[in-house]
Amino acid sequence: MKHKRIHVLAAGLAALGLFSGFAPRASAALSGSCGMIVSVPHNYALGNMSGTMNTGTGAYSGVFQLASPGSTRGVNVLAVLDFSTNTISFNVTQVTINTPNNSYATQTQTGVAFTTAAGPLPGSYTISFTPTGSPTINLNLLPVNGGSTVLVQGTSGGSGALAGVCQAL
């Protein structure tokens, strides 16, 4: 009896999926262009501490520094991927670590050429490009929702990992 209920439940879920418009699809090819937002993890938050611990009260008196003063790191990226021309245009928000206040700025590059290859998962792609003055960036792209959305994962040299989404324009 329990086995029969599982079959009925599975059939009901499959029917619900088909009636609601969900059906597994073949992977979509990259075409047109998409607007992308990715965030760069703050993996540079490790720094140094200097000061003294009061063993009687447990209070710490000192300074915690996020990174070396003057170092600049990416925080997030807004971009357009154009699969017709195999180019990316982007604006990076950057933070420069200062004591006592950090400062923020942006860097923009347009029309940076990328190459496309098969990605690490079935139906995924990897694009690679080298922005001016930066190491090569590799982004894994996985088209979903019939290609109208692209999930983005990647690495950017010294800045670390990237994660985000690109929506068809």
CATH of the domain at 48: 2.40.160
Confidence of residue 36 (pLDDT cuts 50, 70, 90): very high
Is 20 a domain residue? no
Nearest to 139 by CA among 115, 112, 167: 115
Higher pLDDT, 59 or 115: 115
The pLDDT score that the predictor gives to residue 135 is 87
SS3 (DSSP) at 133: coil
Is 153 a domain residue? yes
Is 33 a domain residue? yes
Buried b (16+ CB within 10 A) or exposed e, 102-111: eeeeebebee
Is 1 a domain residue? no
Is 6 a domain residue? no
- pLDDT of 150 higher than 50: yes
pTM of the model: 0.69
**Burial (Cβ within 10 Å: 0-12, 13-18, ≥19) of residue 65:** middle
- Domain of 160 in residue numbering reads as 25-52+62-168
The pLDDT score that the predictor gives to residue 91 is 96
Nearest to 163 by CA among 150, 152, 147, 155: 152
Is 124 a domain residue? yes
**Of 27-31, 67-71, 74-78, 142-146, where does the model show the most confidence?**
142-146
Question: How many Å apart are CA 25 and CA 30, to the nearest integer?
Answer: 15
Is 8 a domain residue? no
Question: How many Å apart are CA 132 and CA 89, to the nearest integer?
Answer: 12
CA atoms within 13 A of residue 131's CA, in its CB half-sphere: 16
Is 5 a domain residue? no
The number of folded domains in the chain is 1
